[in-house]
Chains A and B, each alone.
Chain A
């Protein structure tokens, strides 16, 4: 039986962001932007969607008087990512 893949994660940019955050403690907005080659506008929208789903925490700070956005994955996000990978495997090796 195929289980439907989590629609929040099954999108290129959101999945890329979650994959990065799963390996790090925290990442700045600019780091995510560099790694994903996304535009700031699009990245902001997708981060907001991940935040609304409670998959990530977004913290606003200041660094040298410039606003700084720091993102961290939450326990819910880790669980969702793990389930997504388990379901993904079923699609690739269907038994």
Chain B
């Protein structure tokens, strides 16, 4: 492109072309969704199997794996920031949404147990659902919206289950709201990179 004068039609075309090429860039590669999805599923499974064998301390798996996840997320976020050479307003909205989600999650996990285990599991599924539902709306990516709704439904169903069975419904909620949409988002992101 050079410093040449344009006629009005060329100007309009140029504006449209530049806006379109920047606007359509997908802001999320799905990596953190997949990572967290599997991490929580593994933790819930270990916890569930442990409880089946009357191993009371199996809940400790959360205390070990969740901080590992936090460290990985922070490092991956830094790496992503370095790779990215443009920041859209959408990137800003998403980072505030997920930061707010993270803070709410930590508060729920640290303080919520004074209400018992069931309200904590219930709140977790509501939080997962909210974050993926809003992300899906912002990204215009329907699987995340449906995943969010599925997580809300799981939360409601979990009221009628025992603490132990709640762990199983958390796994279903995670599959629907993180893992499946995460993989779909990842393949969409990859196909876009190859264009």
Contacts and interface: CB of A to CB of B under 8 A. Distances in A.
B85 A92 contact: no
B88 A19 contact: no
A23 B27 CA distance: 14
A20 interface: yes
B3 A12 contact: yes
A76 interface: no
Contact of B1 (A30, A37, A85): A37
B89 interface: yes
Contacts of A26: 86-87
Nearest to A43: B1
Contact of A24 (B3, B5, B87): B87
Contacts of A10: 5-6, 11
Q: A-side binding surface: helix, strand, loop or mixed? A: helix
B4 A11 contact: yes
Contacts of A11: 3-6
B1 A12 contact: yes
Contacts of B19: 19-20, 22-23
Nearest to B7: A91
6 contacts: A10-B11, A12-B10, A16-B14, A16-B18, A24-B22, A92-B9
3 interchain residue pairs of minimum CB distance: A19-B18, A28-B85, A91-B8
